[in-house]
Amino acid sequence: MVNRFNAGLRPSDGFLLTSRPREFRDAVESWDVLTAAAVVALDELTVEDLDRYLPLTTRTGRGASTKWLPVLARVGAGGPLSDVLSTPLMVALARTIFSDTDAYPAELLRGDESRAAIEHRLLSGFVPAAYADRADGVGGVEARLRFLARHLCRLGTHDLAWWQLVQAVPRAVVGSVAGLVLTTAVLLAGGVVGWVGQWPDDGGRRAWLISILIASVVCGVVGGVVVGHGRGILPSPARMQLRVHGRQAIIAGEFVGVVRSWRTTAWFGVWTVRGVGVCVFAVYLFGRWASLPACSPVSVRGSSSR
């Protein structure tokens, strides 16, 4: 991975890379260093840092500038609370919960809690404090966050990628929506043509509309099953470089590989069979039920000129 960074960056490019110290050290020792990169390591926050920062973050009001004093005194004495507030993340959570609201940080001094218990208190209180001013309440926000958390647990990852959100929707829902859209599209396209067309009598129009109705249902069911099974076309970010010269064989091989994939074959097969079946079925019903008037023979009589 580090080699790719070095190979893909130009001398004038600037970037900011964040990482945990252990993971960055392992990557550098296993591969290579980042060329001309300065490494900045964050130290733990001290009591002096908290004393200069937290009192300035409180809202203006009576006693606002002093409500952090009991907490700072406990932090100066050491213990689990001092360990928790030594990281910028936990300090940011504490500021959001207590400095940006009317709550008092003295709640962190209740009982002899462990570091894990204090961290859990801060993590669980962040969302209600951050979204307290929303008109729809905090319940809707927590429900959406739980949905995303369950989605990430199913994927077995901590990285939230927008192109993978479609996998959070059940296959039945995707297939039902796709089938409904296909059914409506086919029904409207064929129904409008049959309704406004010129027919010799009502039998032909009725046969056409019945055939289109059946064909639209078949299209919706088959298309819904196919789309629901694969959840549609899964999007993903891509970087395209169009280089054709000297790569004809590679492009042809990749095209053949795409065509030979089971999903592409299934799409071509389903749409081809469905199109042929709809046409054959429509022609059969039209010929079976349409009552077209018989054409009377035309008598042509020759006339002799005198």
Task: Break the chain into its structural domains and give their ranges.
Answer: 47-166, 170-233+250-289
* The residue type at 12: S
| Residues 244, 183: Cα–Cα separation, whole Å | 40
Per residue in 215-269, pLDDT tens?
888 888 888 888 777 665 566 666 666 665 666 666 677 666 666 666 667 777 7
- The residue that leads in pLDDT, 18 or 270, is 18
Find tokens 């199109």 and name the residue. Answer: 275
Average pLDDT, rounded, for the chain: 77
Categorize the per-residue pLDDT at 33 as very low, low, confident or very high, splitting at 50, 70 and 90: confident
- The residue that leads in pLDDT, 43 or 202, is 43
Mean pLDDT over 82-101 rounds to 90
In degrees, rounded to 5, the angle at the alpha carbon of residue 43 between the alpha carbons of residues 40 and 49 is 125
Mean pLDDT over 197-208 rounds to 69
CA distances for 274 relative to 216, 229, 259, angstroms: 10, 18, 19
pLDDT at 223: 82
Mean pLDDT over 11-32 rounds to 81
| Residues 241, 33: Cα–Cα separation, whole Å | 28
The tokens of 206 are what?
């009725």
Categorize the per-residue pLDDT at 112 as very low, low, confident or very high, splitting at 50, 70 and 90: confident
Cβ atoms 105, 63 nearer than 8 A: no
Judged by average pLDDT, the poorest of 114-123, 165-174, 242-251 is: 242-251
Categorize the per-residue pLDDT at 288 as very low, low, confident or very high, splitting at 50, 70 and 90: low
pLDDT at 96: 92
| Residues 268, 278: Cα–Cα separation, whole Å | 15
Sign of CA dihedral 208, 210, 211, 215: positive
pLDDT at 60: 58
The tokens of 131 are what?
């979204």
Going by C-alpha positions, the residue among 122, 70, 133, 60 that lies closest to residue 96 is 122
HSE of 107, CA atoms in CB hemisphere, 13 A: 14
Cβ atoms 113, 120 nearer than 8 A: no
pLDDT at 97: 92
| Residues 220, 223: Cα–Cα separation, whole Å | 5
Highest mean pLDDT among 75-79, 133-137, 295-299 belongs to 75-79
pLDDT at 193: 66
What is the C-alpha R_g of the chain? Answer: 35
pLDDT at 219: 84
